[in-house]
C-alpha cells in the first residue's frame, strides 16, 4: 500500500485564484483517486510544523507566512507509483523550470507561490497524511 499513496495541498495562491477545481480535475484525469480531501487553513504553528524539515532554509519564514495566509485544499491521492508520478504531474518547484503541461507550469505564480504541494517520498507521504487526516477520513 505504501507506494500507492501521496499527499497534496492546493496552496493558498491557487485557491485564491479559484484554480482548485481545475487542479483537482487535472489530478483526476492523470489517474489519481481521491482517498480523502478537505478545505482548511493552516495556522502559523501548523505551517511551521508541516515544513519543519525546511526550518534552516532562508525561505522558511516566508513559506510559513504564505502557507498560513489563506485556505488550502488538502488531499490524499492513490495510484500505482503515486509519489513519483505525482511529482511528475506537478513539475519543478520553480514554475519557470516546470515542464509544459504540468500543474505548476499552468497555475503557479513563482517558486514560493507554486500552486501545489506533493510529498517527496513514501515515508514523508505517510507522515503528511497522518498530519492532516485521521484513519476515519480515508476512503
Q: CB of residue 139 vs Mg ion: minimum separation in angstroms?
A: 26
Is 54 a catalytic site residue? no
User: Which residues, 6+ apart, have CB-to-CB distance to 88 below 8 Å?
Assistant: 102
Q: How far is the CB of 93 from ligand UDP (least distance, A)?
A: 3
Q: Minimal distance in Å, beta carbon 99 to ligand UDP?
A: 13
Cβ atoms of 65 and 91 closer than 8 Å = no
Q: Is 68 or 114 the residue whose CB approaches Mg ion more closely?
A: 114
Instruction: Give, as ranges, the residues between 96 and 125 that touch Mg ion (CB under 5 A).
Output: 120
Measure the CA–CA gap between 75 and 7, rounded to whole angstroms.
Answer: 6
Nearer to ligand UDP, 48 or 117 (CB): 117
Round to whole Å and give the CA distance between 70 and 123: 27
The answer to whether the CB of 84 falls within 8 A of the CB of 29 is no
Q: Element (H or E) spanning 27, and its range?
A: helix 20-29
| Residues making contact with ligand UDP (CB under 6 A) | 54, 59, 62-63, 93, 111-112, 114, 117, 120
| Residues making contact with Mg ion (CB under 5 A) | 120
The set of catalytic residues is: 117
Amino acid at each position: 500500500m505504501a507506494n500507492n499513496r501521496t499527499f497534496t495541498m492546493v496552496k493558498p495562491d491557487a485557491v485564491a485564484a479559484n484554480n482548485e477545481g481545475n487542479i483537482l480535475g487535472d489530478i483526476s484525469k492523470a489517474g489519481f483517486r481521491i482517498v480523502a480531501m478537505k478545505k482548511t487553513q493552516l495556522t502559523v504553528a501548523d505551517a511551521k510544523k508541516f515544513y519543519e524539515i525546511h526550518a534552516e532554509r532562508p525561505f522558511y519564514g516566508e513559506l510559513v507566512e504564505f502557507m498560513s495566509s489563506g485556505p488550502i485544499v488538502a488531499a490524499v491521492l492513490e495510484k500505482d507509483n503515486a509519489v513519483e508520478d505525482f511529482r511528475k504531474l506537478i513539475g519543478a518547484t520553480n514554475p519557470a523550470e516546470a515542464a509544459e503541461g504540468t500543474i505548476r507550469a499552468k497555475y503557479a505564480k513563482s517558486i514560493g507561490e507554486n500552486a501545489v504541494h506533493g510529498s517527496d517520498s513514501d515515508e514523508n507521504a505517510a507522515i503528511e497524511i497522518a498530519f492532516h487526516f485521521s484513519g476515519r477520513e480515508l476512503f
